[in-house]
Chains A and B, each alone.
Chain A
């Protein structure tokens, strides 16, 4: 049985799609209150493992524990999820979307607070099919935070955003983490992972090939390198420079 100080524990998780291994026996633990980053090239299996932890897709084998036990009905009340690609009901306004989703939960933050937090004030009366990609990302983040979740899954939350919007999202994530919320984040932005995460796992071909704090990973892998001492150098060293897709 998992220890309760870990909010999520994964053991020997496996998943295949049409005979191709997407996740190959991954085990990991995520401590309560941490910000855990999953990095990896396209097709490494990041989204698959995150969606298995989210209970969106089922694993072929292995176990996932939430707060030391099986994920029950409370799980969906207590987690917030932002997917990589999601469309919303096209003909609802931003505010109506938030109010609709708020009705799904026993407890939720005031919709007005989420609108203010995610800077949606100017577009709250706009239909979802009329807002920009960046605005949509902010709305999706708002939906993920609506139920004041203990555990927040963010799958590439800042992809496609301009630098200002990205910084704003980072601030929100950082604030949530400071309030004791656990965050599981996938990203392709090394700067984002370095800035936000206290633990990082680098995945390739369905396996975790390295794990540790950003500082430790840099210290461990950039000792004798000519390239800059940062997470990107570590990532390229471990996963190679060959184009994947």
Chain B
């Protein structure tokens, strides 16, 4: 039973607590560059998730064979192989999307989220756990890109996934789909995430203090303040 809980945590930590974009600030280049629309963000997120999951699975399977001295180089070659697969498949099946994302699909190779997970997690854990971790991180990355792309598309071109949802009276803010809008939106989004996380932390702290007061162990509160 205990194992079950930790496994689901392995998955969930990537979605929120350690969200690669919103909390760890990794992989910002593709995040900012492709999120002109929700569909672009989703496509980029899924492509990166595929590479992350496949690379994590393979690397955690052969982690004992890779000599530690050349591990980074081997990781990069493995990642580059999967990126090439994604790039070629997208060129063949979704030529429009591939053109819209431009060089950012090949640039998944140097996405620090992917290399970071291999170094920090997949090279030290069994394939099952590495798979869950990769899926979670990929989901977190995709969600962040989708939210950013959604906000920018709704305000910048009145549509969401190509469907018009804002009334005609609403004048689209051109800046949102220009580079400057990407920086501004992500900056405000990060600020909002920090506000939310701070408030959650304070509420937790207060409820802990109240609990200690109830059971009459004031000395623990002081310990908490020191922390």
Is chain B found bound to chain A in the same assembly? no
Chain A residues close to B by CB (< 8 Å):
none
Chain B residues close to A by CB (< 8 Å):
none
